[in-house]
């Protein structure tokens, strides 16, 4: 009888502990996602199947540094992190595997610098449309964001 | 005394060499007049005489460039919009693609339409492109193809500006603010 009771109490305590851990993990996850935020997210889109450029301002309000390792959108077959460079009057662009954003820092994806290169749209898009994009980080975090489609003439 | 005077003398000398009223770079003495043989966005073979009579901006790029090229063209669009309405018919932008493998005339037309009626797409074979880029002492190059067949193209980033007679006059860089471009375009269109 006493044994049974104890077991029951143990189980309840164990259940509580598991729930607490789950709650901790969940709140931890939520808090982490809230530490990262995107502002002014937009895609400058060219006509037809020409690639688009994604620009935004990424703020890391967390206590930890994060590393952006990629982005994905169902609206495009391929999304890469790119960087444009200008040197001695020559412009070039290349893929960038990852970008570190230190705790408390803001990182700008802006014209003539870092951009997400969106290639091969899955369906036609128009200026004013919203595109869902998920940013991926090295620690497994994912940051979903809505990008607005804008005309390239709005970027200067 | 001489030590602090010399910078003043130097700047006075420099001011004498460079017209202080231009905001962008004067290339009148160092670049040749407009001379080209290319294919336009309608698939027609064209030469420079097709473009005389208007102030001409010449820019090298490619349509698979989502960042630098559209941003540069958007700056030109913004500058042209700042001109008097009547003047906007007297200016044209030649967008020369150095990526003829992907940039067909039809694709160039679709691309330039985004930026305004002043924009004309051009391209050519390697020989024609080399002749033009060598003439203005710029270059271009291709990166390796990735798994999807995409490749990056390096190209010059400046805008060469010619007067209505096709004489080289100015070089506008990405670092030149739009009001400087507008001011110089107005001055060039007024005086040639
Ligand atoms: Cu890119």
Cα(A52) to ligand 1 centroid in Å equals 8
Sign of CA dihedral B87, B20, B76, B138: positive
Cα(A153) to ligand 1 centroid in Å equals 17
Q: What is the mean pLDDT of residues A82-91?
A: 94
Q: Is residue B14 pLDDT above 70, yes or no?
A: no
Domain B22-191, CATH: 3.40.30.10
Which among B51, B157, B61, B75 is positioned nearest to B107, based on CA atoms?
B61
Angle, in degrees to the nearest 10, between helices B178-191 and B68-81: 60
- Half-sphere exposure for B143 (CA within 13 Å, toward CB): 17
How many structural domains compose chain A?
1
Whole-number percent of chain A with pLDDT over 90: 76
Residue A66, C-beta contacts closer than 8 angstroms, at least 6 positions apart:
A36, A60, A100, A101, A137, A138, A139, A141
Q: What is the mean pLDDT of residues B24-50?
A: 97
Mutate to test the interface with A, among B27, B66, B145 (most CBs of A within 10 A): B66
Q: Is residue A9 pLDDT above 70, yes or no?
A: no
Q: What is the mean pLDDT of residues A81-97?
A: 94
Q: What is the mean pLDDT of residues A98-123?
A: 97
Does any CB of chain A come closer than 8 Å to the CB of residue B93?
Answer: no
Does any CB of chain A come closer than 8 Å to the CB of residue B182?
Answer: no
Is B17 known to sit in a ligand binding site? no
Range of the domain at A118: 31-155
Sorting pLDDT into bands at 50, 70 and 90, what band is B20? low
Cα(B62) to ligand 1 centroid in Å equals 12
Whole-number percent of chain A with pLDDT over 70: 78
CA distance A84 to chain B (A): 7
pLDDT reported for residue A26 = 46
Tokens encoding B82: 């700042």
**How high does pLDDT run on average in chain B?**
91
Domain segments of chain B: what residues? 22-191
Q: What is the mean pLDDT of residues B96-110?
A: 97
pTM over 0.90? The answer is no
- Report chain A's C-alpha Rg in angstroms: 22
- Whether residues A90 and B156 touch (CB distance < 8 A) is answered with yes
Q: What is the mean pLDDT of residues B66-84?
A: 97
Give this complex's ipTM.
Answer: 0.84
Is B23 known to sit in a ligand binding site? no
pLDDT reported for residue A33 = 58
Whether residue A11 is contained in a domain is answered as: no
Whether residue A8 is contained in a domain is answered as: no
Whether residue A10 is contained in a domain is answered as: no
Sorting pLDDT into bands at 50, 70 and 90, what band is B19? low
- Three-state secondary-structure class, residue B31: coil
B8 versus B187: which is more confidently predicted?
A: B187
- Whether residues A86 and B152 touch (CB distance < 8 A) is answered with no
CA distance A86 to B130: 21
Q: Which of residues 47-76 of A touch B (CB under 8 A)?
A: 47-48, 50-53
Sorting pLDDT into bands at 50, 70 and 90, what band is A8? very low
Cβ contacts (< 8 Å) between A50 and chain B: which residues? Answer: 63-64, 66, 107, 111
- The CATH code of the domain that includes A129 is 2.60.40.1890
Cβ contacts (< 8 Å) between B148 and chain A: which residues? Answer: 78, 119
In the 8-state DSSP scheme, what is residue A45? -
């Amino acid at each position: 009888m006493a044994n049974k009771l104890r077991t029951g109490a143990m189980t309840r305590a164990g259940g509580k502990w598991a729930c607490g851990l789950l709650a901790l993990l969940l709140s931890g996850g939520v808090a982490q996602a809230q530490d990262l935020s995107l502002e002014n997210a937009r895609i400058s889109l060219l006509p037809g199947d020409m690639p688009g450029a994604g620009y935004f301002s990424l703020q890391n309000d967390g206590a930890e540094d994060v590393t952006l390792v990629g982005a994905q959108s169902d609206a495009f077959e391929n999304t890469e992190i790119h960087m444009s460079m200008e040197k001695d009057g020559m412009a070039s662009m290349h893929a960038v595997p990852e970008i570190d954003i230190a705790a408390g820092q803001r990182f700008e994806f802006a014209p003539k610098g870092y951009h997400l290169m969106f290639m091969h749209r899955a369906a036609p898009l128009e200026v004013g449309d919203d595109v869902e994009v998920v940013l991926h980080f090295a620690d497994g975090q994912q940051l979903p964001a809505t990008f607005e489609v804008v005309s390239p003439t709005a970027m200067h | 005394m001489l030590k602090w005077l010399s910078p003043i003398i130097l700047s006075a000398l420099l001011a004498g060499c460079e017209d202080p009223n231009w905001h962008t770079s004067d290339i009148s003495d160092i670049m040749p007049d407009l001379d080209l043989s290319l294919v336009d966005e309608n698939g027609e073979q064209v030469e420079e005489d097709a473009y005389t009579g208007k102030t001409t901006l010449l820019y090298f790029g490619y349509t698979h460039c989502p960042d630098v090229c559209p941003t540069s063209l958007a700056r030109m669009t913004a500058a042209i919009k700042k001109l008097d309405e009547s003047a906007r018919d007297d200016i044209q932008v030649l967008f020369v693609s150095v990526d003829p493998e992907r940039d067909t005339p039809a694709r160039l037309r679709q691309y330039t339409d985004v930026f305004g009626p002043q924009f004309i797409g051009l391209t050519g074979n390697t020989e024609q492109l080399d002749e033009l880029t060598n003439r203005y002492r710029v270059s271009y190059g291709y990166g390796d193809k990735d798994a999807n067949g995409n490749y990056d193209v390096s190209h010059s980033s400046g805008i060469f500006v010619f007067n209505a007679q096709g004489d080289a006059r100015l070089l506008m860089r990405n670092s030149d603010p739009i009001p400087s471009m507008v001011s110089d375009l107005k001055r060039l269109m007024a005086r040639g």
